[in-house]
Structure 1
Amino acid sequence: MADKHSTSTNVFLVMFLLLLFTVNAKTTSAASVTRSRVQIITSNTSVIGAVMDMTSRAGKEARVAMEIAIDHFNAKTSLNVTFYTRNSNGNLFGAIHEATYLINRHKVEAFLGLQTMEEVLSVGEIGSKSQIPTFSLLDSVPQWALDRFPFLFQASPSQFNQMKAFVAIMESCRWNSFTFIYEDINSASTEIIHHLMEIIKDSSVQMNNMVKLSPLVSSSSSLLEELERINMDQCRVFLVHASLKTGVRLFQNAKDKGMMEKGYVWITTNLITDLLHTLNSSTFLTMEGVVGIGSFFADTSSQFHDFSSKFQKRFKLEQPDEENNMPGIFAVQAYDATWIAALALSEKNMSAKKLVDTVSSISLTGITGELRFVNRRSTASHRYHIVNIIGKYYRELGFWSEGLGFSEVVNDRASYDISLQNLGHIFWPGRPLHTPRGWAIPTSISPLRVGVPTMTVFKKFVEVKYDHMHHNYTCIGYSIELFKETVKRLPYYLSYEFIPFNGSYDSLVEQVYLKKFDAVVGDVSVVSRRYQYAEFTHPYTETGLMMVVPVISYHEQWLFVKPFTLGMWALTIVIYIYNGFVLWLIERKHSPELQGSALNQAGILLCLAFTRIFSLDGDQLNNNLTRMITVAWFFVAIIVGQCYTASLTSMLTIRRLAPKVADYETLKNANAAVGYGRGAHVASYLVDVLGFKNENIRSFTSPEEYAHALQNKEIAAVFLEAPFSKLFLAKYCKSFIVAATFGEGGFAFVLPKGSFMVTDFTKALLNVSESGTLQNIEKRMLGSEHCVDMDSIHDEYGRLGLSSFWSLFILTGGTSTIALAVHVITTLRHHFR
C-alpha cells in the first residue's frame, strides 16, 4: 500500500509537470479534438505511436521488432498502419513530453512501449484521458493502475511465476535457505517480493536474508560491503533480481571476493537472464556457474525464424555498435503487442469503449505463443527457460513448466520430472562434481544457546553434572545424544552450547520467548499452552500420560474360595448334602454299612455327601433311582470341579497383573493422594483437567520415591509421561502396572516461534529415526534398566507358595491333630479302665 500511495503522489506531480509540456494542447478547442476523431474514422490509415528508452538494449530490440511487425501487418492486410517512435531516453519527463507530442502532432490512436512503472503511470493516464489504448511492455502493471486507467493494457505476460520455478530448483537440490538480492530500480521491481514471499510460504524454503541494491549507490565499494556482510552468514544460495548492468557489476565484485568458487550458488531472474545474449565472452567468464531463469518463447518455430532473419539484418544496420544481433524476449513481445494494437485499430467506426472491448476479445497466436487478455492483462507465463553459464558462453539446460517440472524437451509431457537432474549435469561455480550443499561454516557466528533443565526426575533423559575442579557443566542423557545426532543431519552447520536452567519446565520454555535461549533440549512435553511462547519439533518419544498403580496382591488368606461367590458355595453345599441325604435315605435299608446309631448315621451322611460320590460305583447301589441320582450328581460334580479349577488357574496367572484401581474417578471420589514428577506440567493437568484437589497431589524427585510412596500407600497412583512410565515399569516390573492412559504430546525440541529451523529439525529427526540411529541411541541410553524384583525372594507371583494355601494346611493338619488327640485320649481311657 505504501508503494501504491507514493506512486499516486508521483502521478499527480507528473500531471502538474505535464501542464508545462502541453500548453498548446490545452489551448486546442474541444472542436479540434472532435475533428481529429472524425479524421480517424473516415480514413483507412491507423496511427500507432511508441514511447520507450531507445538507449537500452530492450528499447532498441523493441523498436526494430515493432517496425517489422508493422511491415508484416501492412503486407498481409489491406490496411495501412502508420508507425511513429519517440525516444524517452529513460527519462520520465521525456516520456511525458514525447507522448503528448505524438497525440498533438500525429494524432496517434494507440500507444506502445512504456517499459518502466513511472512511464506506465504517466503515459497511461495521458492515454486514458485521451481515450487512446495504451499497451505497456512492462510485465508487472499493478491491478490498481489498470482499475484507474481504463485504456491501459499490460501487453507482456507476468513473469512472477518464475519464483515458482526458483522454489522448484531449491526443493530439487534440497536447499532450504537462500539470500534474496534485488535492485530497487522502481516500484515495479519490488512487486516480485510479495509474490516470492507468498510462494515460499507454502514450501519448505525459507528466505535467510534480503539485500536491497540501490542504483544510486551501487558502486564497487558499496557492493563489496554488501557481499562481505552476506558472506559472513552460512547461506550460500543467492537469488539475484537486478538490472543487467548492476548484475554484471555484482558478479565482478563477487568474483574478486572469492564468492564465485565451489560451494556458492547464484541464480538470476529474467531481468538478467533475458539479456544474456547481449553479453560478451569476457563478461561470461566472471559469471561462470550462474543458473538463470528466463522468459520462454518458442525459438524453433518457422514464424520466429522468419522474424529473426529480418530482425538481425535491420538491427545490424540500425545498431552497429551492438555485438549481438539476435532478438530476445523483448523483441518478440514487442512484435506480438504491435500486432494486437494493429488488429484492434483495424475495425473502424467504433467508440472508444468498444475499442477496449475489441482488444480484450482478441486471441492471437504470436511468436510468444497464445495471446489473449483477461481483465486487460496478458495471461501469465507458466513456462520458463533454464540456462547455465559455462566458460565464455551460456547454454540452455531445458525448461520448467508449472505443474510438470523440468524437461529438456518442451512439448514432451512424458519427459518432465520434478528433479533438476532431469536437465543433465549443471556446472555450478567452481565446477564441483556434485550439487553444492547450499551452506558453509561461516567465518563468524554465535553459537546457538540451548537451555537444558536441571530439575529432571529421570536422569537417563537429561542429567547436568557440574565439574567442581574445572568449574564447568556437562550435559548427558538420551535427549542430549539425540539432539547432537539431529544437528549432524541438518542441511547446514549449526554450532551450539548447552546452558543449564534451574526452574520449572514452563519457565524454561518461556525463556525462548524472552530470547534468553535459542532452543530447549530435554524431557520437555508438547503442551498447548506452551505454544504461546515457542514452537515444537515432531515428538521424538511416545505420547501419552500414564496412571501407574500397584498390581493386585493375591497372596491373602482363603484364596481357594475366591473362584466362587458366596451364593455359589452355599448352593453347592446344600445340593451335595441334599443329594447325599436322598441317597442315604433310599439305600440305608439295603446297605448295613449305612445303618447304626444316630451319630454314626450323621457321620455316614456327611461322608456320603462329599466323598462317596467319587468312590461308590454302580454295583454297590441297589436301587435304580439312586443309580440315576448318582449319574446326574457325578456329571454336575465334574462340571463344577472343572469350572472351579479353571477360575482358580485364571486368578493365579492372568489376574495377578490386574491394577488395584482401574480409573482415576475412583481415586478422585475416594479423595486419594496421587503423585507426579517435580517441575512437570502434570500437576496442572491433574488439577485443571482431571479434577484432583491440590492438597491431594504430591511431587517427587526420583523413581525410588515413587515406588516407596506407592508401596507404603502414601499415594494410590503416580502420573508419568509415557517415556518415564516405560523406564519406571522396566525397573519395577513386578509391582506396578499402567491402569489408564491420557492424551499428551510427548517430548520434543523447543525452538522460537516462526523459526525456519522447526521444519529442518523435524526432517532431521525423521532421518535419524528412519536410519535406525534413533533405536540404537534408545537401546544404548534407555535399555539398560533391569527389574529390581527379578531375583527377589519375595517373588510371590512366579510360583504357588504357602502364602496362599497355609489355611488349608492348618485346616487339614488341625483336623488330623484333633482326631489323633481324640483317638489317643479314647485309647488311654479304655486302657486305664
Structure 2
Amino acid sequence: MFTGYCIDVFTDAINLLPYAIPYKLIPYGDGTNNPSGTELVRLITAGVYDAAIGDIAIITNRTRMADFTQPYIESGLVVVAPVKRMNSGAWSFLKPFTRQMWGVTALFFIVVGAVVWILEHRLNDEFRGPPRRQMITILWFSFSTWFFAHRENTISTLGRFCIDSLISSKDPIGYQQGSFTRDYLINELGIQKSRLISLKMPEDYAKALKDGPRNGGVAAVVDERAYIELFLSTRCEFSIVGQEFTKNGWGFAFPRDSTLAVDMSTAILRLSENGDLQRIHDKWLIRSACSRQGAKLEVDRLDLRSFWGLYLICGIACLVALLTHFLMMVRQYIRHYSPELDSSGQSTSARLQTFLSFVDEKEQEVKSRSNRRKLEMASNRNESMDNHSSKRRHIESPPDASNEA
C-alpha cells in the first residue's frame, strides 16, 4: 500500500478522468537513499516506466525528456536556518535597528524637517507663525515622514540578499540527497561542490543546523518549500529566511505527446477549483502552528554601515538645496535692499539684523513692498522731472512787454 500527499493527489485526479485507467504503482529507489528525480524521468523515455508520480519538480532539463501535468503544488527553493526567537512587546518595532542606528535616523529626519522648513518658510503659510508653532511643525513633519511614508515592500530584496550572503560566505550548505537543488546551486549560483553537504532525513537537517559550521554541521539548508514547511511543522527553532528565490512546482511526468498529461492536468485543475487539492495539502503538510511561525521572515538588526550611502545622498541633497536657497535669498536681498542700505549708511550689525528680518519675511510681502517702492520711486522721478521742466520753462520764457516799457 502506498500513501502520501502525492499519492492522494494522483488517485483523486485519475478518478475524475472520463475513462478508466488501470495502473500499477511500482516503488522507485532502494528505500535507504533518496532517489534522483531526473533519473526517474529519464527512465520514462527509456521505456522502463509509463509514467512517474511523486514529488517531481518541474525543471528545464526534465521538461526536455517528458511531458508534465499542471503543477499541483508550488515549491520553489528556500533557505532555512536557526533563529533566535525574541519576545514581542510594546517596543518590538525598535528591534530591527541598533540604538545608534535609531539615533542617527532620528537626527537626520529632524535635519530634513528643518531644511524643508527653511525652504517653505517664506512661501507656505503652514510653515509660518510663532516660533513654538514652527518648531512643532518641524517635529511633526519629521514624525509623519518617519512613520507614515515608508510603504515599500522589501521582502523580495531581503530574500535575495539572504541567498547572496550565503553565496559569498565559505560556510557549508545542506541540501536534500537526490534533489535538483545540488545541480542548481553549482550550475546556476556557482557554489563550490566542496561546500555542499548531502542530507537524507529531516533528522539530519535538524542535527546539521544545530551543530553549525564550526561543529561539522551547516550554516543553512536549501530545499524546496514543501519539504521545509513539513520540516518546520515540528521544529520551531528554525525558520525560513527570506522568500523563494526560484519558482517551480511538482507535477506528474508522462511520455512525450501523451494525452494523459493533458487529461490529468484538467483533472488537477478541477481538484483545485473544488477545494480538494487544498484539503489534501492540509491533511499531509499542515501539522502544527510551527509551519506558520517558521515561515515568517526574520532578519538580523541593521547597523549604521548598512545605510551610510543613503545618509550621504540625503546630506548632499540637503546641502545643495540650502546653498541654492541661500544664494537666491542673498541675490533677492541685494536687489531690493542694497540701494537703501548704501544711502542710509547702516552699520554691519544693523545690516545683519535687516537681513535676518528679510529672511523671516514672506516672499510675497517682499515682492509687494518692492513693487510699491518701485512705483513710489517712479512717481517721485516723474514728479521731479515735471518740476524741473516747469522751472526750466519759467526761466526760458521771454520778458513781459510791460516790464520792458
TM-score category by the smaller chain? 0.5 to 0.7
Partner of 1:689: 188
Distance (Å, rounded) in 1 between the aligned partners of 2:28 and 2:22 = 19
Structure 2: gaps (5+ residues)? 30-34, 88-94, 108-131, 148-153, 299-405
- List aligned pairs for 1:78-93, cutoff 5 A: none
| Alignment partner of 1:564 is 2:103 | no
Q: Is the 8 A contact 2:40 2:52 kept in 1?
A: yes
Q: Is the 8 A contact 2:230 2:291 kept in 1?
A: no
- List aligned pairs for 1:441-480, cutoff 5 A: 474-480=1-7
CA-to-aligned-CA distance 1:779-803 (integer Å, 9 cap, x gap): 222223442998xxxxxx9xxxxxx
Distance (Å, rounded) in 2 between the aligned partners of 1:661 and 1:779 = 28
Q: Is the 8 A contact 1:706 1:718 kept in 2?
A: yes
Partner of 2:47: 515
Distance (Å, rounded) in 2 between the aligned partners of 1:666 and 1:478 = 34
Higher helix share: 2
| Alignment partner of 1:672 is 2:171 | yes
Q: Which amino acid aligns with 1:479?
A: C
Distance (Å, rounded) in 2 between the aligned partners of 1:526 and 1:683 = 15
Change (3 A) 1:566 1:746: closer
Q: Which amino acid aligns with 1:669?
A: S
Task: Give the match's secondary structure for 1:501.
Answer: coil
Q: Is the 8 A contact 1:478 1:778 kept in 2?
A: yes
Q: Which amino acid aligns with 2:99?
A: P
Change (3 A) 1:516 1:683: same
| Alignment partner of 1:488 is 2:20 | no
Task: Give the CA deviation at 1:549.
Answer: 3.4
Task: Give the match's secondary structure for 1:548.
Answer: strand
Q: Which amino acid aligns with 2:54?
A: G
Change (3 A) 1:734 1:546: same
| Alignment partner of 1:760 is 2:269 | no
Distance (Å, rounded) in 2 between the aligned partners of 1:720 and 1:509 = 20
Q: Which amino acid aligns with 1:778?
A: H
Distance (Å, rounded) in 2 between the aligned partners of 1:755 and 1:767 = 20
Correspondent of 1:525 among 48, 57, 77: 57
Q: Which amino acid aligns with 2:173?
A: V
Q: Which amino acid aligns with 1:696?
A: R
Q: Which amino acid aligns with 1:765?
A: I
Change (3 A) 1:764 1:568: closer
Task: Give the match's secondary structure for 1:679.
Answer: coil
CA-to-aligned-CA distance 1:747-774 (integer Å, 9 cap, x gap): 0001111212111111111122222221
Distance (Å, rounded) in 2 between the aligned partners of 1:747 and 1:510 = 16
Partner of 2:304: none
Q: Is the 8 A contact 2:78 2:241 kept in 1?
A: yes
Q: Which amino acid aligns with 1:536?
A: F
Partner of 2:273: 770
Task: Give the CA deviation at 1:563.
Answer: 2.8
Change (3 A) 1:552 1:534: same
Task: Give the match's secondary structure for 1:663.
Answer: helix
Change (3 A) 1:525 1:675: same
Task: Give the match's secondary structure for 1:549.
Answer: strand
Task: Give the CA deviation at 1:700.
Answer: 1.4
| Alignment partner of 1:743 is 2:246 | yes
Q: CA RMSD in A?
A: 4.2
CA-to-aligned-CA distance 1:291-337 (integer Å, 9 cap, x gap): xxxxxxxxxxxxxxxxxxxxxxxxxxxxxxxxxxxxxxxxxxxxxxx
Partner of 2:339: none
Distance (Å, rounded) in 2 between the aligned partners of 1:709 and 1:521 = 30
Change (3 A) 1:487 1:735: same
Task: Give the match's secondary structure for 1:720.
Answer: strand
Partner of 2:380: none
Distance (Å, rounded) in 1 between the aligned partners of 2:229 and 2:210 = 19
Q: Which amino acid aligns with 1:746?
A: G
Partner of 2:345: none
Partner of 2:284: 781
| Alignment partner of 1:726 is 2:229 | yes
Distance (Å, rounded) in 2 between the aligned partners of 1:748 and 1:530 = 11
Distance (Å, rounded) in 2 between the aligned partners of 1:660 and 1:764 = 34
Task: Give the match's secondary structure for 1:497.
Answer: coil
Change (3 A) 1:548 1:506: same
Task: Give the CA deviation at 1:705.
Answer: 2.6
Task: Give the CA deviation at 1:567.
Answer: 7.7
Q: Is the 8 A contact 1:676 1:682 kept in 2?
A: yes
Distance (Å, rounded) in 2 between the aligned partners of 1:754 and 1:659 = 41
Structure 1: gaps (5+ residues)? 1-473, 572-630, 647-654, 791-796, 798-833
Distance (Å, rounded) in 2 between the aligned partners of 1:661 and 1:489 = 40
Task: Give the CA deviation at 1:486.
Answer: 1.0
Distance (Å, rounded) in 1 between the aligned partners of 2:275 and 2:102 = 56
Partner of 2:150: none
CA-to-aligned-CA distance 1:229-266 (integer Å, 9 cap, x gap): xxxxxxxxxxxxxxxxxxxxxxxxxxxxxxxxxxxxxx
Task: Give the CA deviation at 1:475.
Answer: 1.4
Distance (Å, rounded) in 2 between the aligned partners of 1:739 and 1:560 = 15
Distance (Å, rounded) in 2 between the aligned partners of 1:775 and 1:788 = 16
Partner of 1:174: none
Task: Give the CA deviation at 1:680.
Answer: 0.6
Task: Give the match's secondary structure for 1:662.
Answer: helix
Change (3 A) 1:713 1:776: same
| Alignment partner of 1:539 is 2:71 | yes
Correspondent of 2:25 among 476, 498, 502: 498
TM-score normalised over the length of structure 2: 0.52
Change (3 A) 1:663 1:495: same
Change (3 A) 1:537 1:712: same
Task: Give the CA deviation at 1:661.
Answer: 8.7
- List aligned pairs for 1:161-180, cutoff 5 A: none
Distance (Å, rounded) in 1 between the aligned partners of 2:158 and 2:197 = 21
Query: Percent identical across equivalent pairs?
Result: 30
Q: Is the 8 A contact 1:721 1:746 kept in 2?
A: no
CA-to-aligned-CA distance 1:566-609 (integer Å, 9 cap, x gap): 9849x9xxxxxxxxxxxxxxxxxxxxxxxxxxxxxxxxxxxxxx
Distance (Å, rounded) in 1 between the aligned partners of 2:168 and 2:275 = 46
Distance (Å, rounded) in 1 between the aligned partners of 2:97 and 2:74 = 42
Task: Give the CA deviation at 1:495.
Answer: 1.2
TM-score normalised over the length of structure 1: 0.27
Q: Is the 8 A contact 2:74 2:247 kept in 1?
A: no
Change (3 A) 1:757 1:661: closer
Q: Is the 8 A contact 1:551 1:659 kept in 2?
A: no
Q: Is the 8 A contact 1:519 1:750 kept in 2?
A: yes
Distance (Å, rounded) in 2 between the aligned partners of 1:735 and 1:762 = 35
Q: Is the 8 A contact 1:551 1:737 kept in 2?
A: no
Correspondent of 2:197 among 698, 712, 716: 698
Change (3 A) 1:749 1:786: same
Task: Give the CA deviation at 1:547.
Answer: 2.5
Distance (Å, rounded) in 2 between the aligned partners of 1:561 and 1:492 = 61
Task: Give the CA deviation at 1:665.
Answer: 2.1
Q: Which has the higher contact order (CA 8 A, sep 6+)?
A: 2
Structure of higher CA gyration radius: 1
Task: Give the CA deviation at 1:660.
Answer: 10
Q: Is the 8 A contact 2:232 2:291 kept in 1?
A: no
Distance (Å, rounded) in 2 between the aligned partners of 1:669 and 1:564 = 27
Distance (Å, rounded) in 1 between the aligned partners of 2:159 and 2:9 = 37
Distance (Å, rounded) in 2 between the aligned partners of 1:765 and 1:789 = 25
Change (3 A) 1:788 1:488: closer
- List aligned pairs for 1:26-105, cutoff 5 A: none
Higher strand share: 1
